[in-house]
Structure 1
Amino acid sequence: MTAEPTARQHPGLDLDVLTPWFVENVGAVSGQLNAELIAGGKSNLTYRLYDDQQRWILRRPPVGKLLATAHDMGREYTMMSALASTDVPVPVMYALGDAELLGAPFYVMEAVDGTPYRKASELAELGPERTRAISERLVDTLAVLHQVEPAQVGLGDFGHPEGFLARQVARWRKQFDAAHTRDLPAMERLHALLAEQVPPDAAPGIVHGDYRLDNVLVDDSDQPRAVLDWELSTIGDSLTDLALMSVYHRMGAAGGGVTDVAVAPGFLSDEEVVARYAAASGRDLTNFGFYVAYSCFKLAGIVEGIHYRFTNGQTVGDGFADVGATVEPLLQAGLAALKEN
């Protein structure tokens, strides 16, 4: 007879192995250390750790084969640790563990109270005024992040901003190749056009890499408490963050994508988001169509990686069966965005 699973049995998380390391590197445990998987994202695995008195968060990569440079726990840990001294809201980071313990690098951080709003229906319950305020603060927080000077928070050597956009276009093409399960002619066309139209380098700044409302915990007073999911963060052209927000916005308005918060009554329109960011940051938004097209390409690459893991039986949880269907629309949206320049 097969034993029923307990709070101590999870993919990629052996609590009997973790507990001694946890006590040594994070702190004492009251009673038994337990865990539960937090549903939501389809990339890294996020667990809520708890004992009789306290809560923490543990993040680790998905199980199975990983694409090169993806799911970088050290990157997330370093970035959030560095930002602790700034006005960017991030959780307290406690400890970084190496791959020998759980089979992949991981880290433990503060469990921050807040809501990662993903659905328009969740915002609709708050009303249009609160929804507008939340969307305004989302944009303002991004502008605050992009005003941080990397070198002043110890991130001067964190990335290689020279030739950032050209390298990113090449990188995501490699990710498509590494996650190949099918031919994607639109990907080939979009990649070729992006490689031909790369804008000049901008002043280097911090790039979150996947900035959207459900990667931000919002408290009961509608203030952002913590920006999460820094696995794609780097130093480079931070305008790519705004462009990716725009792509999420457009996808949600069209009835697709991972989040539809943009259609909630009161949420800033795509044009208002861009205008508010431009006013707060002073950035030149020339060639923004290229940035949107690149963001479509990048997001399609991320989704194709998830589709690859699903087709190879390497995903944990439900909701992966149809994810691959969003890749072609993203690629087509990228081709269309290049005409906006």
Structure 2
Amino acid sequence: MPARPTVRPAPHRPLVVTADPGLLDELLRLAAAAGTEVDVAADPVAARARWATAPHVLIAADQAEPCLRARLPRRPRVVLVGGPGVPWEAAEQLGAEHVAELPLAEPWLVDRLATPHDPGADASVLAVVGGRGGAGASVLAGALAVTAARAGRRTLLVDADPLGGGLDLLLGWEQVDGLRWPALTATRGRVDPPALIRALPNQGDLVLLCFSRDELLPVPAEAMAATLDAARRGRDVVVIDLPRHLDDAAALALQAADRTLLVVPAELRAVAAAARVAATVAPHCADVSVVVRGPAPGRLKAREVSRALGLPLAGTLRPEPAVCQGLERGEAPAADGRGPLADLCRRVLDDLTAGHRGAESAA
């Protein structure tokens, strides 16, 4: 298999959300004084694509109400900025950590913009989504997490598909104690990383966040944002099993992902379904590639699937009856580190880690 083309991510810059020309000029002047460039969005619609990845977000007073109405997910490092009379009461609703009233707060704001967020402390984030139902995305996500933990990487596996079978069952962890999603749905703001990791089901370097069996609730975007923020600082690798129909939490997770794998069976109808999924995923993640799973009843080749979807090929998987049998016995996929599934997981994780380090160097 030829090497994948290198994807060079655009640098993440602070995001300024304002449609006020005068205030924008002031903020651009302060950014220049801090020696940094910023991205500018006139409204929350334009801001959404960069919301999760910006190291800092400055919401100007004129966009406080529009951002509230847009229900943007809570995230850390948000500052509400304005002149005298800035709506302080909106800060808590927006999840802003600070309110900067200009011109008094100019020195503080320059200092904050001049202090970059350290991406080197962040985990590598890998999202997995099925091209159709039963594609095997959950098995691949579980195997990636197990493989990362076997390699000594502190790993968090996140179940973001409320209608999936449950990743605790996939790992054989249904009896392992720890918090599930319902206990985190009321999360607001930042979560202490060590406290979160200690509270979740875990074994060794692998930690799991999944759904409860007796309470099926959607994941609020705010809870996903807080969890990912904590995971970036408390883990080395985060693997997220996503639903095919994206809700706000899943879209937020995609925006935070360094890479997304689309799992597609080598079947014509599966490729047609996967094309629709790819169209919804691509706007949220710049690096999407395909994993083609056999068998191929019509002898459809992996490269033909890749070309049909217009996505690079990350790898292929042939049937492994031993994996299927092990899952029925409560054995985690790739737990023994052998076979095509484990081999693919090692290649993907090595590539992900190398790409993450390259992005840090570029930043």
TM-score (norm 1): 0.25
TM-score (norm 2): 0.24
Select the structure that is richer in strand. 2
- Larger Rg, first or second structure (1 or 2): 2
